Amino acid sequence: MKMTIALAQMAVALGRPQQNQLAAQSLAARAVAQGAKLLLLPELWTTGYDLERIHEYACPLDSGHFAMIAELVVCQS
């Protein structure tokens, strides 16, 4: 079995989740267009190491970053 995996490198904007989400969406679209079945993003890609404000970024599973990631999932048979 063969699987195409995309490794995404991006300049994470510290404390700017919306900007980082847009970058991740663009990378995901490129990965899918190139046949990737799995996309790996950098650690803490949504906010960077903005640990002083990390509690502000926490959100329920059905909203925020988790909901955005769920939208990026592409199921192909």
Please name which of 17, 10, 12, 14 lies closest in space to residue 52, comparing C-alpha atoms. 14
Domain ranges of the chain: 5-72
Lowest-pLDDT choice from 3-7, 23-27, 62-66, 71-75: 71-75
Are 3 and 37 a contacting pair, CB within 8 Å? yes
Strands (E) across 1-77 are located at 5-7, 38-40
Retrieve residue 62's tokens: 């059905």
The pLDDT value recorded for residue 61 is: 57
pLDDT band for position 38 (cuts 50, 70, 90)? very high
Angle between the N-to-C axes of helices 17-33 and 64-72, in degrees from 0 to 180, rounded to the nearest 10: 10
pLDDT digits (tens, 9 = 90+) for 42-76: 999 988 998 888 777 776 656 666 666 667 655 44
